[in-house]
Structure 1
């Protein structure tokens, strides 16, 4: 009986060694590279998503590093878009918007224009550029960081664009019967910007 147990023990030990060797060999096999994906496919642009852009992120453009001071998330029905307050360089703080339009990312730098006494409605000409209305609506918003806005609320907007959407004009109203805020925007391409993501929330 003892001889049988010894033989059985030897067989189990050999089997264990074989299993370990096979596992080691399999672990060393190179993984097949995954198929490369379209980097501009909807939802596959990680550097411009809400988890990467937020207070503390850095947006580098034209040799200047801008710090994201605060962020606003907008919701209108099933649609969402973001605006981030950037500060850096010698100029005034600017806003950076991120929006998905028909499967494409639309990125823009915005400058507030308190010098423009305009109201939404009809075409407008600003700095020699003619703009036509393209969209208007009401959106709910929430804020984080420093934005100069309430933590949450509802706003009204009217968006204009030039022919070919090379330039943008926006009207925003943050409460009924308050003055419209006017901004002009410049479309940016992802290749013009480098983003260093924000630290994770709570870190």
Structure 2
């Protein structure tokens, strides 16, 4: 009897273990079945860099931006749209009152460029413009609607005309006229994602 009882006990334990394993496997199968299929992702998306270096697309007044080791504060932003195309320009100011503009757009990849206001560049319209020892060739022109945030020196809303030029070495020359005012010129250079580090302020 003792041997038979021991055998029965062992069989009961084995059955309990088998039942428990079956229940666990069944629950896992249900969870797997309920999981939605993963959405396709862009292999070139800069998500990892955005988490490490801050997202330029989320820039706003008060954020701190470091460009190639130079630290600036975002004074204000201009949000622009032309048809279905949208981009932003952010006014950056350092402790010495040096002001530059950081342009942020996607085409479809993220494009960052730094613009420095200049004088005596003339006006756009010609196919080429000679300035500061470079010959710039006309790239694109048009007009866009804009709205400004915080401190930009611009009206809250309006229209801007623009004309962009580029030299053979990649240097840029841009002209903008806000609300029909005189043309203002800036020289620009494209930045890599690694040139820009962002410290966002708390919302």
TM-score (norm 2): 0.72
Which of 183, 187, 197 is the equivalent residue of 1:184?
Answer: 187
Partner of 1:41: 45
Within a 5 Å distance, the mapping from 1:26-37 to structure 2 comes to: none
SS in 2 for 1:121: coil
Which of 75, 81, 106 is the equivalent residue of 1:75?
Answer: 81
The alpha carbon displacement at 1:161 in A equals 1.2
Per-residue CA deviations over 1:117-162 (Å, capped at 9, x if unaligned) read: 3333220122222211111111000111100000111111111112
Per-residue CA deviations over 1:51-106 (Å, capped at 9, x if unaligned) read: x20101111123322100100000001000000000114352111101112x2222
For structure 1, the 5+ residue unaligned runs are: 1-17, 27-33
* Separation in structure 2 between the aligned mates of residue 139 and residue 180 of structure 1, nearest angstrom: 15
The alpha carbon displacement at 1:114 in A equals 2.2
Partner of 1:10: none
Which has the larger share of helix? 2
Partner of 1:3: none
For structure 2, the 5+ residue unaligned runs are: 1-19, 29-37
**Number of aligned positions between the proteins:** 168
Greater Rg by CA: 2
* Separation in structure 1 between the aligned mates of residue 103 and residue 136 of structure 2, nearest angstrom: 19
* Separation in structure 1 between the aligned mates of residue 200 and residue 42 of structure 2, nearest angstrom: 21
SS in 2 for 1:163: coil
- Residue 174 (structure 1) aligned with residue 178 (structure 2): yes
- The answer on whether the counterparts of 2:56 and 2:198 sit within 8 Å (CA) in structure 1 is no
Within a 5 Å distance, the mapping from 1:30-179 to structure 2 comes to: 40-41=44-45, 46=50, 47-50=54-57, 52-90=58-96, 92-101=98-107, 103-163=108-168, 166-176=170-180, 178-179=181-182
- The answer on whether the counterparts of 1:135 and 1:158 sit within 8 Å (CA) in structure 2 is yes
- The answer on whether the counterparts of 2:92 and 2:101 sit within 8 Å (CA) in structure 1 is yes
Change (3 A) 1:39 1:57: farther
TM-score (norm 1): 0.72
RMSD, aligned α-carbons: 2.9
Change (3 A) 1:189 1:119: same
- The answer on whether the counterparts of 1:120 and 1:171 sit within 8 Å (CA) in structure 2 is no
* Separation in structure 1 between the aligned mates of residue 164 and residue 201 of structure 2, nearest angstrom: 29
